[in-house]
Amino acid sequence: SAVISQKPSRDICQRGTSLTIQCQVDSQVTMMFWYRQQPGQSLTLIATANQGSEATYESGFVIDKFPISRPNLTFSTLTVSNLSPEDSSIYLCSIRDIPSYEQYFGPGTRLTVT
Amino acid sequence: QQQVKQSPQSLIVQKGGIPIINCAYENTAFDYFPWYQQFPGKGPALLIAIRPDVSEKKEGRFTISFNKSAKQFSLHIMDSQPGDSATYFCAASSWEYGNKLVFGAGTILRVKS
């Protein structure tokens, strides 16, 4: 399977600032997603990152708060804007292999907002 | 309808035991059922997955049992080891909903040595 890397692996940010998370894949992939995992919780899909067009957001997530870029088939960024302590979570990049349906996750970015 | 209910929330077994984690769903359109294993500080790793046309799938010490009529599926870990201690998530997806994974709440497994 493809290798997925994320930067940064963790960060501590102040309330009101923003954090941009990078996701790099070592091969071209069509389907790329961003998830949030709040402490001790399950995974929640934020959006599907579409190459060359706007991301598709899930209910409860908006572009102003979570802008996403997908400039090519190997890279995406998620920005978490106007941070509040409630944004403290792990943010995960994920890719799907279309023929097999198999979906893989990156190592995650642990964000703490103070 | 889009929910996947996972149980138990946590599980403790002795080394060599067979922990069983169960998931139930309502949406009969679900057609892909993966299990993920997550260690602290790591992203979830795909363990094994099944489609509704088979009732059982084995990969190494991990087995999925699938009961289509009951709309339930479960993960069995044979000869469990302390290294299997992790959080396990079941999930399901349907082409009707863009094949987006819907996750269960997770089960924290501890295997005692």
Interface of A with B (CB under 8 A): 1, 4, 33, 41-45, 48, 92, 96, 101-108, 110
Task: Give pLDDT tens digits for A3-23.
Answer: 999 999 999 999 999 999 999
- In angstroms, rounded to a whole number, what is the distance separating the alpha carbons of residues A92 and A66? 13
Residue A43 lies in a domain: yes
Long-range contacts of B17-20 (CB under 8 A, 24+ apart): B17/B80, B17/B111, B18/B76, B18/B77, B18/B78, B18/B79, B18/B80, B19/B76, B19/B77, B19/B80, B19/B84, B19/B109, B19/B111, B20/B74, B20/B75, B20/B76
Residue range of the domain that includes A62: 14-104
- In angstroms, rounded to a whole number, what is the distance separating the alpha carbons of residues A73 and A27? 8
**Which residues of chain B make contact with A104, given a CB cutoff of 8 A?**
46
Q: Mean per-residue pLDDT for B94-107?
A: 91
> CB–CB of A92 and B42 under 8 A?
no
Residue A5 lies in a domain: no
Q: Mean per-residue pLDDT for B50-74?
A: 96
- Note the CATH number of domain B4-112: 2.60.40.10
Decide if A5 contacts A76 (C-beta within 8 A).
no
Residue A3 lies in a domain: no
**Which residues of chain A make contact with B89, given a CB cutoff of 8 A?**
42-43
Q: Mean per-residue pLDDT for B54-76?
A: 96
Chain A residue with minimum CA distance to B32:
A101
Residue A66 lies in a domain: yes
Name the domain count of chain A.
1
The pLDDT value given to residue A100:
80
Mutate to test the interface with A, among B51, B94, B101 (most CBs of A within 10 A): B101
Domain with residue A33: its CATH number is: 2.60.40.10
Mapping DSSP to helix (H, G, I), strand (E, B) and coil, where does residue A87 land? helix
Which one, of A39, A17, A37, A50, lies nearest residue A106 by Cα?
Answer: A37
Give the DSSP per-residue string, A25-62.
Answer: ESS--SEEEEEEE-TT--EEEEEEE-TTSPPEEPTT--
Mutate to test the interface with A, among B103, B107, B108 (most CBs of A within 10 A): B103
Mutate to test the interface with B, among A34, A42, A58 (most CBs of B within 10 A): A42
pLDDT at A76 over 70: yes
Residue A8 lies in a domain: no
Task: Give pLDDT tens digits for B68-97.
Answer: 999 999 999 999 999 999 999 999 999 888
Would you put residue A83 in left (φ > 0), alpha (ψ -120 to 50) or beta?
beta
